[in-house]
Structure 1
Amino acid sequence: MSKSSQKFDVHQEITNRIVDALETAGEFQLPWIRNKGGSFARPVNIASKNPYNGVNIVSLWVSAQAHDYPSNLWGTYRQWQDQGCQVRKGEKSSLVVFYKTLQFEQQNEQSGELENGERMFARASWVFNAAQVEGFDAVEQELPEEPAFDPVARAEAFAATTKAVIVEGGDKACFIPSQDMIRMPERRRFTGTQTTTPVEAFYSTLCHELVHWSGAKSRLDRDLSGRFGSDSYAVEELIAELGAAFLCGDLGLALEPRADHACYIKNWLSVLKNDKKAVFTAASKASQAANWLINRESAA
Structure 2
Amino acid sequence: MASLIALLEAGTTPWRREWDAAAGGHHVNLLSGRRYRGANPVLLTLGLHLRGSALPYWCGFAEAKALGIFPRKGSKAVHVLRPQVHQLAESRLEEAGTEGDAGTAARSWVSYRPVALFNAGDLEGEALEGLIQKRRQAAGVALRAEPERLAAAEAVLSSWPVVVRFGGDRACYLPGPDRIQLPERAAFHSAGALYSTWAHEAIHSTGHSSRLARDLSGGMGESGDGGRAYAREELVAELGAVLLGDRLEIGSAMANHAAYLGHWVELLKESPPVLLQVLGDARRAADLICPEAPEAAVACLC
TM-score by length of 2: 0.74
Distance in 2 (CA, whole Å) between partners of 1:65 and 1:78 is 24
CA contact (8 A) 1:224 1:232 kept: yes
Aligned residue type for 2:54: P
What does residue 234 of structure 2 align with?
Answer: 237
What does residue 152 of structure 1 align with?
Answer: 150
Q: Does 1:61 align with 2:51?
A: no
Distance in 1 (CA, whole Å) between partners of 2:193 and 2:97 is 57
Larger RCO, structures 1/2 (Cα 8 Å, 6+ apart): 2
Match of 2:264 among 252, 265, 268: 268
Q: CA deviation at 1:270?
A: 0.6
Distance in 1 (CA, whole Å) between partners of 2:80 and 2:251 is 26
Distance in 2 (CA, whole Å) between partners of 1:255 and 1:97 is 20
Give the 3 Å change call, closer, same or farther, for CA 17–102 of structure 1 in structure 2: farther
Mapping of 1:115-194 within 5 angstroms? 123-133=113-123, 134=125, 135-140=127-132, 141=134, 143=138, 145-149=141-145, 150=147, 151-191=149-189
CA contact (8 A) 1:174 1:184 kept: yes
Aligned residue type for 1:93: K
RMSD: 3.4
Match of 1:199 among 168, 191, 195: 191
Give the 3 Å change call, closer, same or farther, for CA 40–232 of structure 1 in structure 2: farther
What does residue 247 of structure 1 align with?
Answer: 244
Q: CA deviation at 1:148?
A: 1.4
Distance in 2 (CA, whole Å) between partners of 1:102 and 1:120 is 6
Distance in 1 (CA, whole Å) between partners of 2:212 and 2:28 is 26
TM-score by length of 1: 0.74
Distance in 1 (CA, whole Å) between partners of 2:246 and 2:270 is 29
Mapping of 1:20-31 within 5 angstroms? 20-24=6-10, 26=11, 29-31=12-14
Q: Percent same amino acid at aligned positions?
A: 27
Residue correspondences, number: 265
CA contact (8 A) 2:247 2:292 kept: no
Q: Unmatched 5+ residue regions in structure 1?
A: 1-14, 106-111, 192-197
